[in-house]
Structure 1
């Protein structure tokens, strides 16, 4: 049966992406009751139940999954047509999932310039411990710590980046000098991640310095670890784009450098969209602008 009201499809898409009526309502700027009414109308026109109600929210039925594939293509076509006709360039929204440190210390600093360049875009910067998945359409673009091995994805290396040990001069003053990794084993407080809560093996930094080292002040947040370091609490590993950018910290064991990589990942179905391409190009630009910090030179 033909459905003529595009707003019903938009409500369906918002619920499919967020998993909850209330979240979908906030995304679309309306209340959950209106979203629910539009869903009921769409289900009546389609002659099928599109979502199952659970304690956590709405889960797509088989009919809903089939409709989602069609509606996503419609939404992409609509966005591309709108962008093509916009004098200000790409329009619509882009959700970027990045690690907490990279998002807060690098991406966020440049977002103002990106917004000025593309005023028609709305940007969601999800900078947290853990990543949203482009393959499940949770994010349009993800900057991951390793190249994904499966899924309908396109991935390329965004940049290598260096990490080093850091501490504050106040912490180091009066303590045993750190001339080798073995000096960290006694008389020093080590800061790092909570081992069982590390969401990616690439975050096991201390083991790259010395396999016997273990943090005693631990957090799942790299920003919290940074706060401990500048508060003179101990010694810890930070990406150089954080540690070298902060004048309150100095390098410890400067000859020891850890190298990791960022991978730029998109869904193959959306990779070529104008708004996605523009954002990918911009992310590559800002990494080049901060190349010396990334390399830790």
Structure 2
């Protein structure tokens, strides 16, 4: 909410609970998740609300995905990062966790012909995320 910025909603990220594709998923599988660094992010809060132990935590979704691939546990991951990964299997959808993605840029860029294609491309790409 900056005074001189233009913001537009670009899309919505949806999440699922993912496990390694190597084998069956145990009902009591430990969690891999994002570290809580003082932000109130739904992808951090939801796994914590399960009250299960974490076998791995990172401040990087790529690190969490790598831990799940290695079989360290299951994790809440955005579909764009996990659904096409053959090393992962979707355990279940988690429709209660969503994240809106917004583009924000200085107002003077609004009409700039060299910047508009970038804004349009980002908005189109993010809108196509599963």
TM-score by length of structure 1 reads: 0.39
Contact 2:33 2:47 in 1 (8 A): no
Match of 1:189 in 2: 30
Deviation of 1:151 after TM superposition, in Å, equals: 3.3
Distance in 1 between residues matched to 2:32 and 2:51, nearest whole Å: 10
Distance in 2 between residues matched to 1:278 and 1:162, nearest whole Å: 26
Distance in 2 between residues matched to 1:231 and 1:260, nearest whole Å: 26
Name the larger-Rg structure.
1
Residue 49 of structure 2 aligns to a residue whose secondary structure is: coil
Contact 2:31 2:47 in 1 (8 A): no
2:45 is aligned with 1:207 = yes
Contact 1:159 1:287 in 2 (8 A): yes
Flag the structure with higher helix content.
1
Deviation of 1:166 after TM superposition, in Å, equals: 0.3
User: Structure 2 vs 1, CA of residues 276 and 220 (structure 1 numbering), >3 Å: closer, same or farther?
Assistant: same
Residue 201 of structure 1 aligns to a residue whose secondary structure is: coil
For structure 2, the 5+ residue unaligned runs are none
Matches within 5 A, 1:52-131: none
Runs (4 or more) in structure 1 with deviation over 6 Å come to none
Distance in 1 between residues matched to 2:35 and 2:48, nearest whole Å: 17
Distance in 1 between residues matched to 2:34 and 2:44, nearest whole Å: 9
Matches within 5 A, 1:38-57: none
Residue 108 of structure 2 aligns to a residue whose secondary structure is: coil
Residue 68 of structure 2 aligns to a residue whose secondary structure is: helix
221, 227, 233: which one aligns with 2:60: 221
Matches within 5 A, 1:124-139: none
Higher relative contact order (CA 8 A, sep 6+): 2
Distance in 2 between residues matched to 1:224 and 1:245, nearest whole Å: 17
Distance in 2 between residues matched to 1:194 and 1:209, nearest whole Å: 11
For structure 1, the 5+ residue unaligned runs are 1-148, 179-186
Residue 10 of structure 2 aligns to a residue whose secondary structure is: strand
Distance in 1 between residues matched to 2:76 and 2:3, nearest whole Å: 32
TM-score by length of structure 2 reads: 0.83
Contact 2:35 2:44 in 1 (8 A): no
